[in-house]
Amino acid sequence: MQEALKLAEEIDNTFMEASLSLDATEIFLRFNQPEEAENLLGNASEIISQYDYTKLYPELYRLCSDLFSKKGEFKLAFEYQRDYTEAKDEIFVEDLNQHIANMQVKYEVDKMIMENAQLATKLEHQRQELTLRATKILEKNELISTIN
């Protein structure tokens, strides 16, 4: 994990660095090493805030809640749990709104395609009708010219 973090720093991939810091934080918390977890969490928090990696906030808040719970600071743990829920809900709503917008665009495109197909069919029908009328007019003209 440390090597991956170093690599993320070297290639200046801050999103990866923040994600890996969060992953490592979870590992340290599972092995009951809150000091190491807190250091990594601070690093992740700094990066997430600096670059506004919105999608990482829920995980950051969840891990903060876990950390403060392990440290016995239950009021802070509760506040971070509430922040986690709010951030997760905001992302869900944002994703849902994006999905709805995509579906609306797809619907409008499909509707236009269908309308274009109907118009093409109507135009083809009108063309065939005009061709038939023109043929009949030509036949009448030929008939008239043979009579005269």
Q: What is the pLDDT of residues 91-140, one digit of tens each?
A: 999 999 999 999 999 999 999 999 999 999 999 999 999 999 999 999 88
Q: What is the pLDDT of residue 3?
A: 84
| pTM (predicted TM-score) | 0.72
Q: What is the pLDDT of residue 148?
A: 67
d(CA 38, CA 76): 14
Q: What is the pLDDT of residue 90?
A: 96
Averaged pLDDT, 13-19: 94
Q: Contact at 8 Å (CB) between 77 and 65?
A: yes
Q: How far is CA 1 from CA 22, 25, 51, 105, in A?
A: 11, 11, 22, 42
